Amino acid sequence: MHILVILQQQQQLLLLLLLLLSSVVSCSDAVSSWFLQNALLLNPGKTEAVIFGTGQRLSTLIKPVGVRVAGSTVTFADAVKLLGVSPDSTLTFNQNVTNVVRACTYHTRALRHIRPLLAVDAAKTIASAIVGARLDYCNSLLLRTSEYNLDRLQRVQNRLARVVLPFSAGATEARRELHWLPIRQRITFKLATITYKARRSGHFYYSHYHYYHYYHHHHKPPPPPPPPPLPSRLLPRLLRRV
C-alpha cells in the first residue's frame, strides 16, 4: 500500500513537471520569436535551468534531460547564477557562499599587501567597498542557511577586520572599533530594514503587496503606507498661504 502511494505521488509530480516544462517551452518560443521580429537573437548557450526541491524529493524525482529553449536543449544544472547569486537545487546556498568566500579571500589578501601604505580610514573604506559589499550583497537570502556557511562568512569578516586593524587585540575587538556587525546580525538587520520599508514607507511595492495580503489573512490589516513627502520647493508656498 505504501509503495502504491509513493508511485502515485511520483507520477503526479512527473506529470506536473512535464506541464511546467511545456509552459516554459511555449514561453521561450514566444520570447525567441519576439527577438527575431526585433532583429535580436536569444542565446541558448547563456541560458541555465534548475529544478528546486528538497534533497529527498530530488533524489526520487525522475528528472528529464533538459528543456527546449530556442531550438536547443538546456540541461538542468545543480546551481545557476542569477543577479550575482548562485542558488543551488536544494536552496542551501553552499555554492553561493563558496563563491563569496573565494572572492573575499582574494581581495583581503590583496589588501594585506598594501595595508602598511594606507591610513586607517582609507583601509576601512576599501575594505567596506570591496569586501564588505560582497558580504552584504543579498545576504537576506542566507537567513535559514547552515551554521557552517555562516561560520565561513564570519571567518572572512574576522580576517578582514584584522587586516584593517592589525594591532587590535582580536577580531571581536577590531569589529567593535570598526563598528561592524557580525554576519548573523547583519542578516537580521537587512531583513528588518526591508520589512520596515515594505510596511511603513511604501517602498518595495512587491513586498508590501504580499505582506499586506499575508497580514490581512492572519492578523488585522496593516495601515496603508503614508503619502510621499512634498517636494521641498512647495513648502515655502504652503507656509506663506497658511
Domain boundaries, the chain: 2-75, 94-189
89 backbone φψ class: left, alpha, beta (φ>0; ψ -120 to 50): alpha
Quick: pLDDT tens for 210-236.
555 555 555 555 555 555 554 555 444
Task: Report the candidate in 151, 8, 21, 136 with the shortest Cα–Cα distance to residue 75.
Answer: 21
Residue 113, Cβ neighbours under 10 Å: how many? 9
Provide the whole-model pTM.
0.68
Low-confidence ranges of the chain (pLDDT < 70): 1-21, 61-65, 201-242
Distance (Å, whole) CA 27 – CA 33: 10
From the list 73, 48, 63, the residue with the least C-alpha distance to 10 is 63
Amino acid sitting at position 65: V
pLDDT on residue 235: 46
- The closest alpha carbon to 139, from 219, 85, 203, belongs to 85
- What pLDDT, on the 0 to 100 scale, is given for residue 204? 57
Apex CA 57: angle with CA 75 and CA 188, to 5°?
95
User: Would you say 139 and 174 are in contact if contact means Cβ atoms under 8 Å apart?
Assistant: no
Tell me the three cell numbers of residue 126.
576599501
Which pLDDT score is estimated for 10? 53
- Per-residue model confidence (pLDDT) at position 168: 78
Gyration radius of the chain over CA positions? 25
pLDDT at residue 161 in the model: 92
